[in-house]
């Protein structure tokens, strides 16, 4: 055993740092309480993480439960399906007599060790927290040393060289543009074990959350935070967990060790962060033999890990390579490699949506065992970011400042941490211990083209997100209802991920059961102001995957003003396709209105269904009473849908835009079925959307925390803001006048007042030659469209006012009737504008290509 925790290894050479690439902001949901990363200070990030975890934090009354959660396990005989969501239905290795024998021997050896090597409290308290780093690090390494010696037959291979070092400086990579974090200590394989080699660890050198393959001895895997205040310690620890999740987004949990050095209220904790929040145990007092024994048990549990599942990873993906089901036989798999990251949500608690473009390499790979896969590194794909997280987050896309794909390369000499510009945390190389294994999904739902065969070299898009029980089927059902209609995404299939044992990839085993919540001292452990209240159950999230045949690119890449308008028109028709199949999207944003790449995705022409044109008002008599609308003045909306529908079809035919789809709408995880929308009350908690793209009234309701009935008029206005962003951030036309630059900054701020100010100025400004080509051509279109938007919004307000006089039992008919009217009217009004401007927009031609300088 070494006498003191060592410093980390040096960095052989500085990695290249990608500069700005074409950015694709995209929406994330109202349930993802994450914030963007641009310019975040540590103080801001700590506050954000505290509120993100919120009330979804739980502590068990003893550490044994955490040891069982982390233990390698196998299902008991006869256990399958839903029973695998209960920990007691597994045989845990830490419960085996062999482990108990080893633990007893290790505990005796630990107690017999010289206490001056690692005694956790200096002789003269109080003392600065840095005085405790070495002592606590030695205690952790002592547990590994004695625990490993007692486990020769049971020890796994995942942490065969685990060691902890004092770090206390910034990491070499960070999340987005946030300030890099500064762990007090770090644990990882091979740290401080190479004293006699040329790679020996040097002071002031840099570790990484996601190192390159030639930096394998510089991987930080278990961060440690020392602090004398638990709320502050946990919030800081959450920032480390965020980095671990960014390095491996599909992992089920991230472990951080916390140590509070105060004698009375302090102690040792394993902090398990997961997509539903945080799970821990009561503090273990290391000045007691019982506390040291429990800490030893936890450390020995880590030494049992031997496969990705044990360490919190999935077996079917290492973030760069994927095994996905064959469409015709989900028991077999297709090997695919990530080419491009289309979207990634950086958070701890939440859906953590990640969208990857994959290239299918071998459609006939068959079943692959973990021993049979040895993945070779490939070139790192360019990451295309689609930012602008939903609801509580603000967008932070930087305007294009350099040609796509350009790089800034750091010097070739090794860089010390104080000289290093932190690079983004992202899956950079495969984890050296992460060997993949095919695990067929428990259930697979085919999409709109179930008979399609995936060919070698074909690209698909994989969306992975952690969904709650109430939401995990929403997007899947929306896509099934759309059935590949015009302007909608073409889905291959959807499924929930599983481990090779059949266990769901979920946080269900990491949170208290209902019985534990009722019968034990387990209780919510609130560390922030956001999230669940103490009366809410633990937030269980499962890893849900959807694979698309549709490949899209951002509206930012449009080559002409006409392409932007035709893209908006086709996306509106796609939105209407979803709507008439029964679903309202509720989260239209720049990230999910995409241009098609290559040929049209569907041969289906646009059509209107008869059902959407049938009047729902007045309804059939209710208790002998029929309500008429003659007394109600709701402005300009037509009272029947059929004439509006007829106008839409006429305009589609006139514009020749009903086939050869060039854009589509994706992402349906915040959609809702309008036929049942009015079965429930709608409060501030039921709003949905991305602030930058919300309608003004919806965003005001969000800011003021007032109840709000979200309607098709809100989605229609979201398309207006999407078009504005497509104009302001177009990558093809990069000339911008000062006013356009200012508008960019204002729109990124997602402030409803700035949005309102923009629309006021839009109505009075004349757009001359000083503006960009895309701005001069499309701001006038936006001006006309905004006038239509305002009238639509005003008329919807009249509908809401009129609803107050309708008896509650038939009010849903009234709302739905006007839902359909406003959905059709909003689409029609843009097509009318398109009809007015299409000839002129076509004459403008394509934008001049961006300068390469």
Would you place residue 524 in the very low, low, confident or very high pLDDT band (cuts 50, 70, 90)? low
Residue 819: inside a domain: yes
Nearest C-alpha neighbor of 459 from the set 317, 353, 363: 363
Alpha-carbon distance 59 to 278, whole Å?
Answer: 8
Residue 21 pLDDT greater than 50, yes or no: no
β pairing state of 321-326 and 267-274? unpaired
In this predicted structure, what is the pLDDT of residue 617?
58
Tell me: do 634 and 722 sit in the same domain: yes
Mean pLDDT of 75-93: 91
633: pLDDT strictly greater than 60: no
Last residue of a domain, one of 548, 582, 607: 548
Any domain includes 26:
no
pLDDT on residue 515 = 82
Residue that wins the pLDDT comparison between 209 and 417: 209
pLDDT at 819: 92
* Model pLDDT, residue 504: 92
636 is a domain residue: yes
Residues 376 and 487 in one domain: yes
Per the structure block, which two tokens stand in for 623? 């208790």
Q: Which residues contact 667 (CB under 8 A, 6 or more apart)?
A: 26, 27, 463, 475, 587, 591, 592
Give buried/exposed letters for 644-658 (b at 16+ CB in 10 A, else e): bbebbeebbeeeebb
Would you state the structure tokens that stand for residue 808, as one six-digit string? 């509650």
Q: How many CB atoms lie within 10 A of CB 11?
A: 24
Q: What is the mean pLDDT of residues 567-588?
A: 96
Whether the bond into 741 is cis, omega within 30 of 0: no
**Whether residue 495 sits in one domain with residue 568:** no
Q: How confident is the model at residue 193 (pLDDT cuts 50, 70, 90)?
A: low
Give per-residue pLDDT as tens, 707-737: 889 999 999 999 999 999 999 999 987 789 9
Kindly give the pairing relationship between strand 173-174 and strand 423-424. parallel
* pLDDT of res. 405: 29
- The whole-number pLDDT of residue 639 equals 60
Asked if residue 740 is part of any domain, the answer here is yes
Number of domains in the chain: 2
Task: Return the pLDDT at 96.
Answer: 96
- Contact by Cβ (8 Å): 171, 208: yes
The C-alpha atoms of residue 771 and residue 736 are separated, in whole angstroms, by: 6
Digit-coded pLDDT (tens) for 472-520: 889 989 998 888 899 999 899 999 999 998 899 999 999 998 888 877 6
Considering the domain boundaries, does residue 273 fall inside one?
Answer: no
Is the pLDDT score of 381 beyond 60? no
Q: Are residues 418 and 562 in the same domain?
A: no
Place of tokens 């309202």: 584
Q: How many CB atoms are located within 10 Å of the residue 216 CB?
A: 15
pLDDT at 450 (0 to 100):
63
Longest dimension (CA), the chain: 93
Looking at the fold, whether 724 and 757 belong to one and the same domain comes out as yes
Per-residue pLDDT of 737-781, as tens digits, reads 999 999 999 999 889 999 999 999 998 888 889 999 999 999 999
Q: Which residues pair with 554 in a beta bridge?
A: 594
Q: Do 641 and 765 fall into the same domain?
A: yes
Q: Which of 118-127, 147-156, 319-328, 638-647 has the lowest mean pLDDT?
A: 118-127
Q: Let me know whether 704 and 743 are in one domain.
A: yes
How many C-beta neighbours within 10 Å does residue 809 have? 11
Residue 160: CB atoms within 10 A of its CB come to 14
Are 358 and 459 in contact, with CB atoms under 8 Å apart? Answer: yes
Query: Above 90 in pLDDT, residue 277?
Result: yes
**What are 809's two structure tokens?**
């039992």
| Residue 523 vs residue 534, higher pLDDT | 523
Q: Give every CB contact of residue 623 below 8 A, 6+ residues apart in sequence.
A: none
Final residue of a structural domain among 520, 548, 576: 548
566 and 707 part of one domain: yes
Digit-coded pLDDT (tens) for 531-554: 445 567 899 999 999 999 988 889
Q: What is the C-alpha to C-alpha distance for residues 725 and 383, in angstroms, rounded to an integer?
A: 20
Please measure the distance between the N-terminal and C-terminal CA atoms of the chain and give it in whole angstroms: 57
pLDDT at 628: 41
Backbone angles phi, psi at 722, to 5 degrees: -60, -45
CB atoms within 10 A of CB 372: 11
- Half-sphere exposure at residue 282, Cβ-oriented, CA atoms within 13 angstroms: 12
Q: What is the CA radius of gyration of the chain?
A: 29
pLDDT of 590 reads 94
Average the pLDDT over each of 144-148, 218-222, 395-399 and give the range with the smallest value.
Answer: 395-399
pLDDT value, residue 837: 97
Instruction: Give the pLDDT confidence of 106-154 residue by residue, as tens digits.
Output: 999 999 988 766 665 554 555 688 888 988 999 999 999 999 999 988 9
Residues in the chain: 853
Q: Which of 100-104, 335-339, 364-368 has the lowest mean pLDDT?
A: 364-368
Given a cut of 70, is residue 216 above it in pLDDT?
Answer: no
Taking 70 as the threshold, does the pLDDT of residue 18 lie above it? Answer: no
Contact indicator for 388, 488 with CB cutoff of 8 Å? no
CA–CA separation, 464 and 494 (whole Å): 10
Number of CB atoms found within 10 A of residue 789's CB:
23
CB atoms within 10 A of CB 589: 28
Instruction: Among 293-302, 316-325, 419-428, name the most confident range.
Output: 293-302
Alpha helix (H) residue ranges in 281-414: 289-302
pLDDT value, residue 328:
81
> What was the pLDDT predicted at 122?
53
Residue pair 241/253 in contact by the 8 Å Cβ criterion: no
DSSP string, 619-631: PSPBTTB----TT
Quickly count: other Cβ atoms within 10 Å of residue 625's Cβ: 9
Angle between helices 289-302 and 97-112 (to 10 degrees): 130
How many other CB atoms sit within 10 Å of the CB of residue 168? 15
pLDDT of residue 401: 27
CA distances from 408 to 213, 505, 690 (A): 20, 38, 32
Residues 349 and 420 both lie in one domain: yes
User: How far is 711 from 701, CA to CA, in rounded Å?
Assistant: 13
Q: If we measure between CA atoms, which residue out of 333, 782, 757, 701 comes closest to residue 545?
A: 333
**Which residue from 1, 538, 50, 58 is spatially nearest to 270, judged by alpha carbons?**
58
Residues 772-808: pLDDT tens digits? 999 999 999 999 999 999 999 999 999 988 888 888 8
Give 64 or 850, the one with higher predicted confidence.
64
Between 679 and 608, the higher pLDDT residue: 608
Contacts of 640 (CB under 8 A, 6+ apart): 615
Query: What is the structure's pLDDT at 395?
Result: 32
Query: Tokens in use for 361?
Result: 């390499």
Nearest CA to 225 among 263, 268, 272, 257? 257
Token pair recorded at residue 339:
């080419």
pLDDT computed for residue 3 by the predictor: 40
pLDDT band at 416 (very low <50, low <70, confident <90, very high): very low
In angstroms, the Cα distances linking 602 to 480, 608, 653, 664 are: 15, 16, 18, 10
What integer is the mean pLDDT of 805-830? 91
Specify if 828 maps to a domain.
Answer: yes
Is-contact 255 268, C-beta < 8 A? no
> Is 205 inside a domain boundary?
no
Three-class SS state of 483: coil
Q: pTM to 2 decimals?
A: 0.82
Q: Does the pLDDT value for residue 420 go beyond 70?
A: no
Lowest mean pLDDT among 159-163, 221-225, 610-614: 610-614
**Residue the block writes with tokens 């990030």:** 45
- In this structure, the answer to whether residues 543 and 589 fall within a common structural domain is no
Q: What value does the mean pLDDT of the chain take?
A: 80
Does residue 739 lie within any of the structural domains?
A: yes
CA distance 339 to 362: 15
Query: How far lies 524's CA from each of 35, 232, 240, 539, 738, in Å?
Result: 24, 17, 22, 12, 51
What is the pLDDT at residue 434?
82
Q: 528, 548, 568: which is the final residue of a domain? A: 548
Q: What is the pLDDT of residue 410?
A: 26
Nearest to 448 by CA among 289, 603, 223, 219: 603
Alpha helix stretches (DSSP H) within 16-132: 42-53, 64-70, 97-112
Q: For residues 850 and 388, which has the higher predicted lDDT (pLDDT)?
A: 850
> pLDDT-based confidence at 574, cuts 50/70/90?
very high
Question: What pLDDT shows up at residue 131?
Answer: 86
pLDDT in the model for residue 599 = 53
Q: What is the mean pLDDT of residues 179-207?
A: 73
DSSP lists the bridge partners of residue 547 as 462, 493
Question: Would you place residue 522 in the very low, low, confident or very high pLDDT band (cuts 50, 70, 90)?
Answer: low
pLDDT band at 629 (very low <50, low <70, confident <90, very high): very low
Cβ atoms of 551 and 596 within 8 Å: the answer is yes
- Shared domain for 563 and 469, answered yes or no, is no
The answer to which of 342-356, 362-376, 567-581, 671-685 has the lowest mean pLDDT is 362-376
244-250: average pLDDT: 92
Q: What is the pLDDT of residues 281-318, one digit of tens each?
A: 999 999 899 999 999 999 999 999 999 999 999 999 98
Compute the distance between CA of residue 380 and CA of residue 58 in angstroms, rounded to an integer. 38
Confidence of residue 454 (pLDDT cuts 50, 70, 90): confident
Residue from 390, 342, 489 nearest 22 by CA: 342
Q: Which pLDDT band holds residue 423 (cuts at 50, 70, 90)?
A: low
Look at the alpha carbons of 625, 629, 630, 632 in this order and tell me if their dihedral is positive or negative.
positive
Give the DSSP H or E segment for 323: strand 321-326
Pairing of strands 277-281, 57-60: parallel
Task: Let me know whether 544 and 571 are in one domain.
Answer: no
Question: What pLDDT does 642 receive?
Answer: 87
| Residue numbers of the domain that contains 606 | 557-667+686-843
At 13 the pLDDT is 29
| Res 385: pLDDT | 26
Q: What is the pLDDT of residues 687-714, one digit of tens each?
A: 889 999 999 999 999 899 888 899 999 9
């Amino acid at each position: 055993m070494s006498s003191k925790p060592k410093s980390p290894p040096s960095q052989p050479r500085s990695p290249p740092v990608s500069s700005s690439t074409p950015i694709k902001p995209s929406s994330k949901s109202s349930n993802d309480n994450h914030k963007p990363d641009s310019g975040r200070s540590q103080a801001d990030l700590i506050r954000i993480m505290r509120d993100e975890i919120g009330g979804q934090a739980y502590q068990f009354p003893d550490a044994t439960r955490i040891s069982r959660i982390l233990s390698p396990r196998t299902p008991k005989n006869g256990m399958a399906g839903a029973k695998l969501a209960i920990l007691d239905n597994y045989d845990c290795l830490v419960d085996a007599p062999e482990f108990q024998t080893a633990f007893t021997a290790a505990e005796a050896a630990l107690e017999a060790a010289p206490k001056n090597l690692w005694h956790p409290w200096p002789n003269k308290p109080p003392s600065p927290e840095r005085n405790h780093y070495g002592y606590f690090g030695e205690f952790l390494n002592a547990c590994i040393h004695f625990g490993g010696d007692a486990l020769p037959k049971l020890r796994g291979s995942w942490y065969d060289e685990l060691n902890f070092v004092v770090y206390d400086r910034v990491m070499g990579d960070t999340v987005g543009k946030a300030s890099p974090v500064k762990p007090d200590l770090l644990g990882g394989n091979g740290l401080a074990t190479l004293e006699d080699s040329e790679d020996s660890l040097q002071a002031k050198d840099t570790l990484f959350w996601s190192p390159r393959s030639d930096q394998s001895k510089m991987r930080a895997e278990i961060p440690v935070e020392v602090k004398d205040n638990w709320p502050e310690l946990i919030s800081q620890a959450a920032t480390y967990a965020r980095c671990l999740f960014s390095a491996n987004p599909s992992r089920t949990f991230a472990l951080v060790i916390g140590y509070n050095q105060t004698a009375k209220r302090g102690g040792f904790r394993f902090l398990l962060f997961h997509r539903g929040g945080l799970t821990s145990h009561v503090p273990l007092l290391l000045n007691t033999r019982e506390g040291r024994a429990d800490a030893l048990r936890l450390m020995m549990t880590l030494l049992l890990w031997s496969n990705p599942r044990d360490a919190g990873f999935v077996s079917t993906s290492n973030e760069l390579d994927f095994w996905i089901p064959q469409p015709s036989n989900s028991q077999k798999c297709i090997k695919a490699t990530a080419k491009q990251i289309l979207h990634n949500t950086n958070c701890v608690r939440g859906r953590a949506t990640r969208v990857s473009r994959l290239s299918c390499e071998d459609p006939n790979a068959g079943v692959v065992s973990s021993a049979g896969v040895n993945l070779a590194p490939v070139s790192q794909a360019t990451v295309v970011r689609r930012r602008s997280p939903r609801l509580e987050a603000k967008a932070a896309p930087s305007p294009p400042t350099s040609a796509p794909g350009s790089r800034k390369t750091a010097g070739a000499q090794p860089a010390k941490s104080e000289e290093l510009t932190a690079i983004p945390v992202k899956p950079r190389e495969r984890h050296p211990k992460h060997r993949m294994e095919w695990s067929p999904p428990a259930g697979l739902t085919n999409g709109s083209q179930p008979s399609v065969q995936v060919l070698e070299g074909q690209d698909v898009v994989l969306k992975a997100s952690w969904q709650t029980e109430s939401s995990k089927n929403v997007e899947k059902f929306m896509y099934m209802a759309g059935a590949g209609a015009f302007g909608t995404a073409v889905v291959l299939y959807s499924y929930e991920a599983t481990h090779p044992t059949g266990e769901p990839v979920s946080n269900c085993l990491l949170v208290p059961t209902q019985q534990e919540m009722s019968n034990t001292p387990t209780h919510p452990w609130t560390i922030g102001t956001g999230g669940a209240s103490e009366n809410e159950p633990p937030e269980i999230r499962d890893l849900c995957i959807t694979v698309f045949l549709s490949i899209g690119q951002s509206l930012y890449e449009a080559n002409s003003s006409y392409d932007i308008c035709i893209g908006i028109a086709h996306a509106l028709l796609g939105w209407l396709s979803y709507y008439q199949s029964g679903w309202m999207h509720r989260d239209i944003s720049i990230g999910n209105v995409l241009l098609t790449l290559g040929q049209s995705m569907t041969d289906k022409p646009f059509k209107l269904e008869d059902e959407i044109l049938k009047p729902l008002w007045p309804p059939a008599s209710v208790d002998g009473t029929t309500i008429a609308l003659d007394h109600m003045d709701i402005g300009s909306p037509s009272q029947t849908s059929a004439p509006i529908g007829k106008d839409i079809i006429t305009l589609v035919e006139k514009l020749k835009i009903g086939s050869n789809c060039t854009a589509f709408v994706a992402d349906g995880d915040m959609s809702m079925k309008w036929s049942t929308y009015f079965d429930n009350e709608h409060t501030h908690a039921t709003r949905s959307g991305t602030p930058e793209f919300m309608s003004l009234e919806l965003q005001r309701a969000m800011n003021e925390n007032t109840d709000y009935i979200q309607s098709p008029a809100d989605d229609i206005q979201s398309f207006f803001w999407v078009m504005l962003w497509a104009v302001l951030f177009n990558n093809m036309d990069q000339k911008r006048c000062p006013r356009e630059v200012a508008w960019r900054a204002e729109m990124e701020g997602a402030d409803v007042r700035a949005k309102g100010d923009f629309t006021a100025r839009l109505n009075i400004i004349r757009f001359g030659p000083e503006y960009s080509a895309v701005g001069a051509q499309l701001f006038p279109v936006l001006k006309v469209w905004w006038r239509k938007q305002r009238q639509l919004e005003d008329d919807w307000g009249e509908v809401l006012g009129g609803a107050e006089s309708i008896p509650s039992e038939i009010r849903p008919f009234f709302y739905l009737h006007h839902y359909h009217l406003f959905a059709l009217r909003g689409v029609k009004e843009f097509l009318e504008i398109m009809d007015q401007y299409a000839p002129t927009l076509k004459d403008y031609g394509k934008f001049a290509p961006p300068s390469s300088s």
